[in-house]
Chain A
């Protein structure tokens, strides 16, 4: 009896609020869709503008849908000898892939060592290491630039990769994962005569697949979108990466908004689609490491 009255008192108000609940649902979806439109519209505008003629793109008030769908902006960019897009894609890909490979290698190796080996001074080394790596880029930017200048690596893509071969977040994350690996497994391999490098390569690395994928895609994204440091190091046009070339292109095409939007589409959209496929890993990585 007591149970009955309790459940009745819980259920009843919900029943009588049927319309209220419907209204609540409607409001929730309304607010969410409003936010969605605000998020999506700038992208839509960019894509639509890139198909307008420059005359139409400058018109007041602006048109939403292009009157004459034209590909002239894209053709102009593809035929521009000053803008060999493939080359800049190559530059960005080189920097991003090289950096991802080197950080994945160093992070897993160093993280594994800090997790599974004992040696004197380990704690101090690890602590010092993390502190050093937490120093923000604006502090190290100037001396790093001076060192690159001394080494003659300004305007070289190598200059962009040598300082970023070790990544504190990666090492920290890999150490966390390596600590969960069973030590017995490693010892069994040792008894069977595997060398330490073989154990790292054949046993530890395959176990780290998921975190390495997360770290890799985050690193790729960070490198691909990086702007400040590449702009400082790459001063010659032909060695630049995509974000740097995009601002340069914008500054040399003032008054031609449709062409600039087409260039933005060509540089931003392809990789955006790739990132969308990897979104699950990216979100996982963000929530796991808080690394941006």
Chain B
């Protein structure tokens, strides 16, 4: 009796030891990786208080100090109140990023929500086909999307100007005319917004379709029987019920449009006259073209704060306290 008890206890402690060994063998590399992550983050944080360029020979620790001097909050003060070229460029890209994000979100919702609703209301035969095609641009590499739209926007041989000419209008140099504008925003900016929307709407559509499928049909039918028309049923029943999805879609769309880079870098590279220079592009150019990495780190921090702030704000506004 005692013997078996001992044996089972020994076996039990053997299991515990092998479990511990397993946990240790996973957590120790993970901790090292996490330490590397913290190191990278700390480095990014420290960099923004320095005037740092990797080409200069700096101090002993990470090349900071010496010819890469500590400037304190200098980068931030310069950004928001300086008159240097790079400060002006930062403020222009901050403005352009806001214009881009503020234009993209409502346009995206205005396209994706009705289309998803219409698509959800038709029979199953065509639904899959429509959805597959609407989703194609999401799967396409953004560089490919940019090149396709560049050929569409071509001032001479592009299709968009061909259509304008066919209706008797004057063709526009979409990606290179700094003077042309619409609603106070340059045409180059509108051009990249349209290309970006084209690539992106399939994503929000599938999210909305999934959400609409989750709305219980009985609720909608009850409203219809009570005399609501389908528009009322949509705005009073369906829309409130997919509010958590709206929150998710708004946050994700805002996040990705604040960080837009690929399409704009390929299509305009910030031109004409920096009218499409957005923050990510400005950060990229400061850091890797002009090797001005302290400045770029400070800019990234500002972008990070904006993105965080917008996310928290949207979560507050669109939060729901109930479930169904």
- A268/B140 contact (C-beta < 8 A), A147-B40, A287-B207, A292-B203 known: yes
Q: Tell whether, in the assembled complex, residue A62 and residue B158 are in contact, meaning their CB atoms are under 8 Å apart.
A: yes
A146 interface hit (Cβ, 8 Å): yes
A152 within 8 Å of B (CB atoms): no
Residues of chain A touching chain B, judged by Cβ–Cβ distance below 8 Å, are: 10, 25, 28-29, 31-32, 35-36, 38-40, 42-43, 45-46, 49, 57-62, 109-110, 113, 117, 119, 125, 128-129, 132-133, 135-136, 138-147, 149, 165-166, 190, 195-197, 200, 221, 224-225, 227-228, 232, 242-244, 246-247, 250, 257, 260-261, 264, 267-268, 271-272, 275-276, 279, 282-283, 286-287, 290, 292
Kindly list chain A residues whose C-beta atoms are within 8 Å of the C-beta of B115.
31-32, 35
CB of B118 within 8 A of CB of A28, answer: yes
Residues A140 and B40 in contact in the complex (CB < 8 Å), given A39-B137, A42-B149? yes
Q: How far is the CA of A272 from the CA of B126 in the complex (A)?
A: 21
19 A-B pairs (CB sep. < 8 Å) = A35-B115, A46-B151, A57-B157, A60-B157, A109-B26, A125-B30, A132-B41, A140-B44, A145-B287, A190-B15, A195-B18, A221-B139, A227-B142, A232-B284, A243-B142, A246-B147, A261-B151, A282-B139, A287-B207
What's the nearest-Cβ distance from chain B to residue A203, in Å?
13
Closest chain B residue, CB of each to CB of A282? B139
Contacts of B23 in A (CB 8 A): 113, 117, 119
Does B283 belong to the interface (CB within 8 Å)? yes
Cα-based distance from A25 to B122 in the complex (angstroms): 8
- B97, chain A: closest CB distance, angstroms: 12
Interface assignment of B27: CB less than 8 Å from any CB of chain A: yes
In the complex, are the beta carbons of A142 and B26 less than 8 A apart? no
**B301 and A110 within 8 A (CB):** no
CB-based contact A257/B157 at 8 Å? yes
Task: Say yes or no: B37 contacts A283, CB within 8 Å.
Answer: no
Q: Is B107 part of the contact surface with A, judged by Cβ < 8 Å? A: no
Residues of B with C-beta under 8 A to A247 = 143, 147, 266
Please tell me if the beta carbons of B22 and A142 are within 8 angstroms of each other in the complex: no
Q: What CA separation (Å) do A144 and B122 show in the bound complex?
A: 49
Q: Which residue of B lies closest to A49 (CB)?
A: B151
Min Cβ gap B279→A in Å is 8
When chains A and B are docked, how far (Å) is the Cα of A196 from the Cα of B16?
Answer: 11
> Which of these, A40, A139, A221, A261, contacts B41 with CB under 8 Å?
A139
**Nearest chain-B residue to A276 (Cβ)?**
B132
Query: Is A272 touching B140 in the complex (CB atoms < 8 A)?
Result: yes
Which residues from A are CB-within-8-Å of B124? none
Q: Which of A117, A143, A264, A286 contacts B40 (CB 8 A)?
A: A143
Expressed in whole angstroms, the Cα–Cα distance for A290 and B249 within the complex equals: 9
Given contacts A28-B121, A110-B30, A144-B40, contact A138 B304 (CB under 8 A): yes
Q: Is the CB of B157 within 8 A of A59?
A: yes
Cβ-defined contact, B141 with A287, below 8 A: no
Min distance, Cβ B20 to any Cβ of chain A, angstroms: 8
Q: How far is the CB of B303 from chain A (nearest CB, A)?
A: 6
Q: Which of the residues A40, A141, A145, A260 comes within 8 Å of B133, measured between beta carbons? A: A40
Asked whether any CB of chain A lies closer than 8 Å to the CB of B70, the reply is no
Closest 9 CB pairs of A and B: A196-B22, A268-B144, A143-B43, A225-B141, A243-B143, A275-B139, A138-B300, A287-B210, A132-B37
Cα–Cα distance between A238 and B165 once the two chains are bound (Å): 43
> In the complex, what's the smallest C-beta–C-beta distance from A4 to chain B, in angstroms?
15
Q: Are A125 and B300 in contact (CB under 8 A)?
A: no
Cβ-defined contact, A45 with B119, below 8 A: no
Taking CB as reference atom, which chain A residue is nearest B37?
Answer: A132
Contact B262 A42 (CB under 8 A): no
Q: Does B38 contact A (CB under 8 A)?
A: yes
Whether A43 lies near B136 (C-beta < 8 A) is yes
Question: Are the CB atoms of A110 and B141 closer together than 8 Å?
Answer: no
Q: Is B186 an interface residue (CB 8 A)?
A: no
**Which residues of the other chain, A, contact B176 by a CB distance below 8 angstroms?**
none
CB distance from B225 to the nearest CB of A (A): 6
B126-140 at interface with A (beta carbon < 8 Å): 126, 130, 132-137, 139-140
- Decide: B198 and A138 in contact? CB cutoff 8 A: no
- Among A200, A227, A275, A290, chain B packs the most CB atoms within 10 A around the CB of A227
CA distance in complex: A117, B115 (Å)? 45
Task: Indicate if the CB atoms of B307 and A136 lie closer than 8 Å.
Answer: yes
Q: Mark B155-179, 1 if CB is under 8 A from A, else 0.
A: 0111100100110000000000000
Whether, in the assembled complex, B280 has its beta carbon less than 8 Å from a beta carbon of chain A, the answer is yes
Which listed residue (A39, A145, A279) contacts B198, Cβ 8 A?
A39
Kindly state the separation between the CA atoms of A276 and B181 in the bound complex, as whole angstroms: 38
Q: Could you say which residues of chain B place their CB within 8 Å of the CB of A271?
A: 141
Interface contact B122-A29, CB-CB below 8 Å: yes
Given known contacts A36-B133, A113-B26, A292-B256, A43 and B148 CB-to-CB distance under 8 angstroms: yes
In the bound complex, residues from chain A placing their C-beta under 8 Å from that of B132 are: 276, 279
Q: Which residues of chain A are within 8 angstroms of B151 by Cβ–Cβ distance? A: 45-46, 49, 257, 260-261
Additional 9 contacts, C-beta under 8 A, given A225-B140, A227-B141, A260-B151: A36-B130, A113-B27, A129-B34, A132-B38, A142-B297, A145-B287, A225-B142, A267-B141, A286-B203
